[in-house]
Chains A and B, each alone.
Chain A
């Protein structure tokens, strides 16, 4: 992996750098912004906001509910013992197990989807600079093509205010 990037102290400068990169014709998916904490106040941090996580969590919940319904009903019918004068398939008590498995399905689906979409855990080399943990914000372009390189460099320096780095 090759990358060119710059570190900024102010989110406003990051916004300028991202706007410059867009103006230089760098595709949105190639622009990488890395920070030590989420920065919600600027447009650049909202680029990847659209997510299927809520739907995936709901699907996990439905899967959990289906499994819970099957498990309780199947086990009651597998050995039909009547207890406490309740019907063999007793929906009132079954609802408790079904509820718990619904929530468990939703929670596990959310975590699995988070790991997949956020691409963690990962051992591949990635664009990163430890200065991010000191409050700096990294803006870079991964695998820039030779043709766009000068434009990327100009965009990231935002008028000479930032030092360019390569990895």
Chain B
């Protein structure tokens, strides 16, 4: 890559870090105020007790656990997709990977907050950790809730490291292009990075190993989240396909979140030269495939329940199909399949706007799916005398809204302080391409930066 191209690329991607408009402060203030309102609401819940929520017998898991499952699902956008694309050496991944990996780190942090909120007394959070109590009794490793602790902490550790390691060379780049406090801060974050051939080899090998390790961890995390439900003998939960069903749903919602985030970054940070329509088209194809896979899993799961015709299972089944939850259920089907499928299947509509529209519907549909897994089953257990409805309280709704604002706020702040596209990886993509087939030669210019 020529020096001029290298300099232009660095300047374009460092501009958001070095120039700040009033819009940034306005957005941070707006999102921050929503997050603050969420924190105040949480404090109100802690002070007044769980009675201020809609959680009551028999539905003890509701909005908070729905949000926990939803955010853990969203976290599958980044590290998993990035690791797969890195391993198959997909050239088009380069501008996408960091945008995706950030979603994983923040979504996991937000998702992991919900069990704490659901605790009611979050200052006792350390009871979730595996350590012996004063009578030397250890937690029960046979409980899926303890599996959650191990799975989420492993995935969070791996995802944060997977995100941070390739940021080190970019921190060194920012260090060299800044002065004053920025130079000192980024110099510290760069950890004395030089860019010797040895350092590059070690970094790339480490990333390769991390990619290999993180894929099974990502799959295991959402499988274990599904075990929270499927290990319980509750109608609608006790299913053998819940593991892959949850993983497919997680990747589905994760890709949708990634498309929305990329479109926002492209528009706000003027990254049109780096995030091309072809990136959205490729992610749109993945989203289409996941929409089909999701529909297949829903059909398999529903058919098995219906064919089995168990009394309790059918109570949940009919509550969803034509009972009190039917409006939400059919909205979910429309959002996850009926609308996205034609938009993403047709080349003419698989544009940036089309992909973003489909993704917005998918995010809504997948949140509804998580809600419809958690709530109707608890409200229709084996004995009808224990059946009951659920209605979320304003406290739960406010806390949920504030987590969406927290995600947007964290993403905004991250893209302000760290290059949201990996600069050094983009430069590698500009090197002469060792193409072996005519198709590869034809394809390669698509991934290059426009002059």
Q: Which of A118, A120, A127, A132 has the most chain B CB within a 10 Å cutoff?
A: A118
Chain A residues at the B interface, C-beta cutoff of 8 Å = 9, 32-41, 44-49, 51, 53-54, 57, 71-72, 75-76, 78-79, 81, 83-84, 86, 90, 93-94, 96-97, 99-101, 103-104, 106-108, 110-111, 113-114, 117-124, 126-128, 130, 132-136
Residues A107 and B195 in contact, CB atoms below 8 Å apart: no
By a CB distance below 8 angstroms, the chain B residues around A49 are 201
Which of chain B's residues have a CB closer than 8 A to the CB of A99?
216, 220
CA distance A51 to B371 in the complex (A): 48
For A71, list chain B residues within 8 Å (CB).
Answer: 130
The smallest beta-carbon distance between B441 and chain A, in angstroms, is: 16
B137 is an interface residue with CB less than 8 A from chain A: yes
Bound-complex Cα distance A117 to B199 (A) = 8
User: In chain B between 155 and 202, which residues have their CB closer than 8 angstroms to a CB of chain A?
Assistant: 157-158, 161, 165, 168-169, 172-173, 176-177, 191-202
Which residue of chain B is the closest to A111 with respect to CB atoms?
Answer: B161
B434 to chain A, nearest CB (A): 7
- Chain B residues, CB < 8 A from A41: 431-432, 434
> Do residues A100 and B217 form an inter-chain contact, with CB atoms below 8 A?
yes
Given the contacts A96-B150, A100-B220, A103-B213, A118 and B137 also touching, CB distance less than 8 Å: no
> 4 more A-B contacts (CB under 8 A) besides A9-B2, A118-B199?
A48-B201, A53-B209, A54-B205, A101-B154
Contact, CB under 8 Å: B6 / A44? no
* Interface-facing stretch out of B47-55, B140-148, B276-284, B384-392: B140-148
Given A114-B202, A134-B3, A135-B1, the answer on whether A104 and B138 have CB atoms closer than 8 Å is no
Q: B55 → chain A, closest Cβ, in Å?
A: 26
Give the one of A54, A99, A100 with max B CB within 10 A. Answer: A100
| Cα distance A122–B198 in the bound complex, in angstroms | 15
What's the nearest-Cβ distance from chain A to residue B182, in Å? 14
Interface check B206, CB cutoff 8 A: yes
Is residue B427 within 8 Å, beta carbon to beta carbon, of the partner chain?
yes
Residues A39 and B141 in contact, CB atoms below 8 Å apart: no
Asked if residues B158 and A104 are in contact (CB atoms below 8 Å), the reply is yes
Contact flags B366-400 to A (C-beta < 8 A → 1, else 0)? 00000000000000000000000000000000000
Q: Is the CB of B204 within 8 A of A97?
A: no
- Given A100-B150, A103-B158, A103-B217, the answer on whether A135 and B197 have CB atoms closer than 8 Å is no
Q: Is B442 an interface residue (CB 8 A)?
A: no
List residues of chain A with CB within 8 A of the CB of B157.
104, 107-108
- Counting chain B residues whose Cβ lies within 8 A of the other chain, the interface size class is 35 or more
B428 touches A120 (CB 8 A): no
B213 touches A107 (CB 8 A): yes
- In the docked arrangement, what's the CA distance between A34 and B178, Å? 20
Q: List 16 A-B contacts (CB under 8 A).
A: A9-B3, A35-B195, A36-B424, A48-B196, A71-B130, A75-B139, A84-B142, A100-B220, A101-B150, A107-B214, A110-B210, A124-B192, A132-B176, A133-B172, A134-B6, A135-B1
Of chain B, the residue at the smallest CB distance from A72 is B141
CB contact between B192 and one of A107, A111, A123 (< 8 Å): that residue: A123
CB of B10 closer than 8 Å to a CB of A = yes
Distance (Å) between the CB of A83 and the closest chain B CB? 6
- Whether the Cβ atoms of A126 and B137 lie closer than 8 Å is no
Task: Look across to chain B and name the residue whose beta carbon is closest to the beta carbon of A101.
Answer: B150
- Residues of chain A within 8 A of B424, CB atoms compared: 36-38
